[in-house]
Structure 1
């Protein structure tokens, strides 16, 4: 619940309030944790500790769970807003687990020949054409053969539509065709705004791209054919795009703005559906294999990228 526009968590008579003033029309990830061993209650906002206090446990035998309202003897107070992805777990989660819940937006392992999201949000992919599966860096990987691709039937990626919002992408790729223009990660809305976030040009050079009112193109290395390469792409307004290859920083733009669309976005892996005119002006279907795709709604650190490059 909220009190005076701050996050508030109460177990019977024990209450803990957050320090951050929340604003309307903004999505927040919120969490309340009670640790019976330390008898500590804490509230978390977007994966960051926002308040904590000592609290004794509420140990009633039964009760009713209500979402979106508070009942008392004389009235009902309803929440005015939107709620999504509500979970109860009978453990006291750690700081790293809460940060992961709050910021790991989607994770495709491609294991068990599946496009299921292995992250916390259940944003499963859909295949256009025959996406097949083969041995990957970790268990199985998805194979794209100049036509098939992974897409979504709705636009779940709200933060990619917000100006200057940080994000990070991590994946393994293995190109398996003579060098040609091909799309790895394509971000778009239904019409208009679209960018090839990660694309390979006709000489095999990797490009990390963005839009700030004009094309932002950061050059990477030539990706070797038939070999696995780990790619890390992070963005924040302060650091701009930082491109990592096999866990090592390869190039950076320095500070740049991100001019987003203003609406939740779609992502396609392995194609641009023919929208080759979108920034930077080239793309097309990818022929090769992809594994361990992660998308975060925050800028990962160099050490976090290094960890992802060593599964």
Structure 2
């Protein structure tokens, strides 16, 4: 089995601002696992997000150093992939583990002749649309972005220090679509409680991560008094975080790159269900390789934020897309995740 790393820089359609900063492009790594007998390749992705301390060159070198461990392998299940990483690189960054995990899942499903999502039995599948994200900016900038991209449900980034209620009131004048609000740790408990009532009246469905992860007392206060459900993001990064979130949140947002792949993400979904937490899966700014991987989870989710590839000026791949009328996924005919780099053979 051959391991190949592709380095890319993804240009954004518009500058993207959240409370962590603003960016106009996104470096990313594509991991390719190739079954040399069949010629099939599985693809995974790790966004090189700067505020997680990731560097494309160093990460590519780290992954390339693992190639000899894959060379003698003929087959590799997702479970075997994680066992291999635990043996060869137990401290591997979760983003890089995730890229390998998704590539292994993609190849595994292709070898079974199935779309990846069809490999997982789901007792009560949901039809879950993805939202489209409106990043922070002036109110007029945010209105312009919303009007330029009509969509059935939006995530609105707030918490940048401006008048957040005024932003939502202004945006509501341009669309009837539901809003998810992401405060990106920018609020206090008092603000969360005070904003929740008016936001609910303005068609907001939930508030994502209003407080900093270390403000557990404030989070419990907000949880007790918020009119709207509260969804954990920065407070829920790994499997160990799910149980802790039950005391301060109504649901969790799983970032597959943060927890290390689809295998741990599905365990997090199962645990959240056992705790009566709602479940969302979010993305980083990724190409269609990363989005096609996480989109396989949609039947298991209450909410989804899988717009990463839609935020790009130019994609490097094709795969799962989303119907602009419904926000629901459109899966390609290809097996596995359905992702394919442009220029690659079918």
Query: TM-score when scaled to structure 1?
Result: 0.25
Bigger fraction of residues in helix? 2
Bigger fraction of residues in strand? 1
Which structure: larger Rg? 1
Query: TM-score when scaled to structure 2?
Result: 0.23
